[in-house]
Amino acid sequence: MPTKKPNKSEEIIGKIFKDSELAYGLREFEGVDIFSVLEITEEERGRYYLRDLKTGKNRFVYDEKKESGKPEEIVRQLWLHKLNKHYKYPLDRMDTEKDIHFGREIHNKAVDIVVYKQNKVTPYILIEVKAPTESKGIEQMKGYLNAEGAEIGVWGNGTKRVILYRFYPREFNDTLPDLPNADQTIDDLLEAKKTYYDYTTTKINLKEAIDSMQELVLANAGVDVFNEVFKLIYAKLYDESEAQLRPDKEVFFRKYRDLSKTYNTINDLFKKAIKKWPGTFYEQENISLSPDHLSIVVGELERTRLFGSDLSIIDEAFEYLIPEVAKGKKGQYFTPRHVITMAVKMLDPKPGEYVIDPAAGSGGFLINAMYSVKDKHLNGFEEAMREYAKEYIWGIDFADEISKTSRALMLVAGDGRSHLFKLNSLDPREWQGEEAQLLDARSKLQTRLLPLGNSADNAENKKTFHYMNFDVLLTNPPFAGEIKDHGLLRQYFFGKKRGKLVNKIERHILFIERTLDMLRPSGRMAIVLPQGVLNNTNMEYVREYLFDKARILAVVGLHGNTFKPHTGTKTSVLFLQKWGEEAGESQADYPIFMAVSKKGGKDNSGDYAYKKDATGNYVHDTKGRKVLDHDLDEIADGFLKFAKEQKFSF
């Protein structure tokens, strides 16, 4: 199929935004046919001009010789188009580059666009899209609104947007989810009903929305930010799930004109969510934000649709929220989705196979396994996937915040009843107790115990949960920390050396033993480990243990940037298949698939790196998302070819 040749406007805009994406992105205008709206002509050799939608005059936008342009002019014209065609404001009620008056003085910087009230004199909406940072942009816009007496201010850099509402002189206790149309009042906007389908095509970055919420209020609200945001996400998930069942599909999670109505409505949704999905919050909990603060936060969050969202976007938001005490200080880092995808693709879980992650984190491995089974084995049927997940997907994590996160992501994925437990995988002693949560976890996990040779062994295993019966295990265990608890060390082969109890051992070493014990004979697993386990001479005893217990299927060395910015630790993914019952099976020589990733999908700062085409523009997938620049898909394909040649039996 021939490649479509870009028109001149498309080519010039691509050059202008090549190095300006973060400062002047075009996300705000998704759905707009940009290259039809903007009329770019070459008036002088190599110098390009853009027709101003307001005045009809030509404005300079790009010098081909100097390779320099004015991305802000592109953004300004697109805003004029959107205000006129989408929000229905006449062009004669708009002005551009308006000087800002502070008392008798004229500010030396003009606001990009002003929309006047119907009298065409009083400023109503101010739009500023050039501020480089959110905090600077919001404060600058507040000053503009105060100086001009305008009610609404839009700050945006193309990738983030905040709409400030100045409803009292010099008071900014509010934000709006959108701009009012020309025939609407602000009250009309806030009281208008919204349906589930109004958010179908909304693409808001949840991490950026939370970042804006922090900037506007959360940082100074005196609350636990993670818990309060999580309560709101829980309430919104409930509202979206119920909206699909309501006759008119109306959503109630939104800002209302009356602040107390906003609080009462959303707190009620939160309370109902607790009842529908118990085990994450206590029934007596309420939203702790004040009505004023909640109203601001809701304005940022209501535009985000969670069900049906790209889970990597939501995962990234939770990663941003999880406090350091729950991740970095315990060596527990969220696994990038492209690493997860590679591992799941290589192990290929199937219907009827029980899958577990004993360090589940945000549930990334489990969710990816669900979708892999759906796409490869269940003909893409959502309902079949949910039925599969209810029985076959299991997860354990000891951190309260992270176990909440995995439950929420499972809800987003469409399954709220999976086997996700807040437990310490390494120490089943802590699974004992009469609390309802522990009784429920034990009862369910006992169904996944490995049948042993006699009743005495089975009775002991029922108490210790030592040997389990899972088909597939995928995990990225915590690296940091040493285990010194002698009672715990006694439970492990690695807790003893030459018959004597060791004083301490690294946590991930115990995880290696624990994960193998969770697998049935011939079960398979992928585990992320520090490379030192596979390379260092003092780790030889661990490698000997692995050779004795399992067949090494593959070793994939990950790029050094993979887990940045959290850690630069060099890691590998180890793929194993536990030996079956055949005597002497572990003694035969066999080939091992080995690969090293040269493209990790991140740069040296830990920011995601995306593929670009020959002209320097970003490559997008069929859903319009930028494509990560990594090579793990090719590595997975190489392993599958190798596995077929070796006739692996899974």
CB 281 within 8 A of CB 234: yes
| Size of the chain, expressed as the number of residues it contains | 650
The reported pTM is 0.70
Give the domain ranges of the chain: 8-86, 91-191, 194-301, 311-646
pLDDT at position 197, please? 74
E strands, 402-545, are 419-422, 470-475, 482-483, 496-497, 500-501, 505-506, 519-530
One DSSP character per residue, 368-420 reads HHHHHHHHHHSTT-HHHHHHHHHHHEEEEES-HHHHHHHHHHHHHHT-S--EE
Give CA–CA dist 471/397, Å, rounded.
19
pLDDT at position 572, please? 95
User: Position of tokens 């999580």?
Assistant: 230
With a CB cutoff of 8 Å and minimum separation 6, the contacts of 445 are: 419, 421, 431, 465, 468
Q: Kindly state the tokens that stand for 336.
A: 């990038």
User: Position of tokens 């029922």?
Assistant: 462
Closest CA to 232 of 193, 268, 191, 277: 268
User: Position of tokens 């400030």?
Assistant: 164
pLDDT at position 21, please? 46
One DSSP character per residue, 110-126 reads EEEEEEE-TTSSSEEEE
Tens of pLDDT, residue by residue over 269-305, are 999 988 887 767 888 889 988 888 888 788 777 877 7
Tens of pLDDT, residue by residue over 165-212, are 887 655 555 677 789 999 998 888 888 788 877 765 445 567 767 777
Give CA–CA dist 173/186, Å, rounded.
15
Q: How far apart are the first and last CA of the chain?
A: 37
Classified as helix, coil or strand, 443 is helix
Helices 225-243, 259-276: inter-axial angle, 10-degree rounding: 80
Name the stretches of the chain with pLDDT < 70.
1-7, 18-25, 27, 102-108, 131-135, 157-160, 168-174, 199-205, 208, 215-221, 279, 308-333, 400-403, 405-407, 409-418, 581-587, 622-625
Among the four given CATH numbers 3.40.630.10, 3.30.479.30, 3.40.50.150, 3.40.50.720, the one describing domain 311-646? 3.40.50.150
Instruction: Name residue 216's amino acid.
Output: L
Same topology between domain 91-191 and domain 311-646:
no
CB 238 within 8 A of CB 269: yes
Third-level CATH fold of 91-191: tt1808, chain A (3.90.1570)
